[in-house]
A and B are shown apart, each in its own frame.
Chain A
Amino acid sequence: MADEVKTLSSQLAQDPDSLVFLRLGELLRQKGQFDAAHRVALTGLERHPHLADAHDLYARILADKRDYERAFDEWDMTLRIAPSHVGALKGLAFLYFKVGDVGQALAHLETARQHAPDDPGVAQALALAQGGGSGAARAAAAAAEELAPTAGAAAPLEEARVFAGLEGAQEGLLLLDAKGQVLGGALKDPHGRDVTDAVAAYLAGVSHEAARTAKLLGLGRWTGVAAEGQHGHVHLTPPAGDALLLVVRDRAVPMGRLAIIAQRAAGAARRWLEQQA
């Protein structure tokens, strides 16, 4: 773990704008180095003030330090940026349980369950809070314990996750191979339904056709496909080889910003694909 901190610190020093601070901050947090984690998260937030995951990381560190009021503000900000951010919904549910507002806590947990039906932490906390056999207060305390974002209880970020730490990694980013098989990420429609496999199937072969079109027109290498829809925007990028990266955002996100998000995600995807080679 110490080596990993060193590696990530070095990567961050080389590219201060990279999102590696998310992994470094989380790692330091897990090691209990809250002050160092705090510094990394704050510096990252200064560079990426609109990144939901950065606010979520900072909130968890604040919660670790028992600064619940500011943690609340940060999770609240996370939800303003990404209304379906499960980490923030769980964090706020935890804080509501702590202050005894079980109704609000349950409402946040229910929302979290809609967006992440397979999250065992959410299911367990809901079961504990709704069980209530041993009294409402004890049930709420048990649920809060389940949700507590303590460093020891936190699940480590998986190195293998292609888009670990990137905004929208589980709802608006998708990495596919040329045959439309999903390599990483996930996609949800505006109603929260998982549409990953359907979209992946329709996009099979796009990379090949885009390359053929570019060649036929003598336009060199294709670098992306940007598309406007009635309810959202899409950006497709070839991160490496025949792989295809899809980034989806609602219409509130301008196409130019979407291109920047796609560029960052393509960098993460490229690194991951290189590691797998």
Chain B
Amino acid sequence: MTAAPAYGPALDLVTRVRGVRGAMLVSGDDGIVVAEQLMEGIKGAAVAALASSLAARLRRAMEAAGLGASLFWQLQCDQGGLLVVPAPSGILIVAVAEPDVNVGLVRLELLRAAEAVG
């Protein structure tokens, strides 16, 4: 697991939740990993690119629907999920979670991390 020192505490907020397999800060514009704390085997760069692309599509669709900016979204899967909060700066705070994770708690920590990242 690696994270730029300035972003480490923000990622710590998320990864300390039980059931979280890793967290990343991703540039929302180009899908590049800014910082990451991921378990072995997770392909951070590829996940970041896809998460960024999904986030962009959702943001545009929600704005077109008059729902305003996306505050939190979650990709739900049979064996876990991807949880994302966009920070005001455009950075995405991304968590990879196991199926039995406390989604409400991860959401709260993602929002706190987004606030810390700015």
- Specify which of B41, B61, B73 lies most central, judged by the most chain A CB atoms within 10 Å of its CB: B61
Q: Is B116 an interface residue (CB 8 A)?
A: no
A223 nearest in chain B by CB position: B76
- Docked Cα-Cα span, A199 to B57, in Å, equals 9
Which of A189, A198, A199, A220 has the most C-beta atoms of chain B within 10 angstroms of its own C-beta? A199
* Contact yes or no, A228 B77, CB < 8 A: no
**In the complex, A248 has a CB within 8 A of chain B:** yes
B50 at interface, CB cutoff 8 A: yes
User: Please, how many angstroms separate the alpha-carbon atoms of A193 and B67 in the complex?
Assistant: 13
Q: Is the CB of B75 within 8 A of A225?
A: yes
Instruction: Report if A234-B78 is in contact (Cβ < 8 Å); known contacts: A213-B50, A228-B71, A228-B72.
Output: no
B61 touches A230 (CB 8 A): no
Cα A240 to Cα B62 in complex, Å, equals 23
- B57 and A226 contact, CB distance less than 8 A: no
Which residues does chain A contribute within 8 Å of B65, judged by CB atoms? Answer: 187, 189, 195, 199, 229, 232, 234, 248
| Closest Cβ–Cβ distance, residue A12 to chain B (whole Å) | 30
Q: What is the distance, in angstroms, from B39's C-beta to the closest C-beta of chain A?
A: 11
Of the residues A190, A198, A222, contact of B75 by C-beta under 8 Å: A222
**A216 & B73 in contact (Cβ 8 Å cutoff):** no
Docked-complex contact A212 and B50, CB < 8 angstroms: yes
Number of residues from A at the complex interface, CB < 8 A: 38
Cβ of A231 under 8 Å from chain B: yes
User: A137 at the A/B interface (Cβ < 8 Å)?
Assistant: no
- CB of B64 within 8 A of CB of A226, answer no
Q: Are B50 and A229 in contact (CB under 8 A)?
A: no
Which of A60-68, A114-122, A200-208 binds B? Answer: A200-208
Indicate with 1 or 0, residue by residue over A234-245, a CB within 8 angstroms of chain B CB atoms: 100000000000
Residues in A neighbouring B81, C-beta threshold 8 A: 219
Which residue of A198, A203, A209, A219 contacts B78 across the interface (Cβ within 8 Å)? A219
Q: Which residue of B lies closest to A218 (CB)?
A: B79
| Contact across chains for B82 and A217 when beta carbons are under 8 A apart | yes
CB neighbours of A216 from chain B (8 A): 43, 46-47, 50
Out of B57, B67, B73, B74, name the residue touching A248 (CB < 8 Å).
B67
Q: What residues of chain A have their CB less than 8 Å away from a CB belonging to chain B?
A: 187, 189-191, 193, 195, 198-199, 202-203, 205-206, 209-210, 212-214, 216-234, 246, 248
B residues with a Cβ closer than 8 A to A are 41-43, 46-47, 50-51, 53-54, 57-58, 60-62, 64-82, 96
Interface pairs (7), CB distance under 8 Å:
A202-B61, A209-B53, A210-B54, A217-B96, A219-B81, A225-B74, A233-B67
